[in-house]
Amino acid sequence: MERTTLPVSMARSSFSDLLNEVMVYGERIVLERHGKAVAAIVSVADLERLEAMEGEPSEGNR
């Protein structure tokens, strides 16, 4: 999987484009603030895999 790291300020101005990259290509976007990773944008499929590994129900099963 492709992984991109961007400052939050840059992600804010191109959020729609970033969402398309995640949805279409499965890219993972790591957001940084002051050079430190603070969040990530991932596909719903990635989120569901992560939640399954943690043993938590997905949004559709709550």
Locate the domains of the chain by residue range: 3-61
| DSSP assignment of 2-60 | -EEEEEHHHHHHTHHHHHHHHHHH--EEEEEETTEEEEEE--HHHHHHHHHHHTPPPGG
| pLDDT tens over the chain, length 62 residues | 678 999 999 999 999 999 999 999 999 999 999 999 999 999 999 999 999 998 866 566 55
Q: Which CATH architecture has domain 3-61?
A: 3-Layer(aba) Sandwich (3.40)
Q: How far apart are the C-alpha atoms of 7 and 58, rounded to whole Å?
A: 29
Q: What is the pLDDT of residue 50?
A: 92
Q: What is the pLDDT of residue 59?
A: 61
Q: How far apart are the C-alpha atoms of 52 and 3, rounded to whole Å?
A: 21
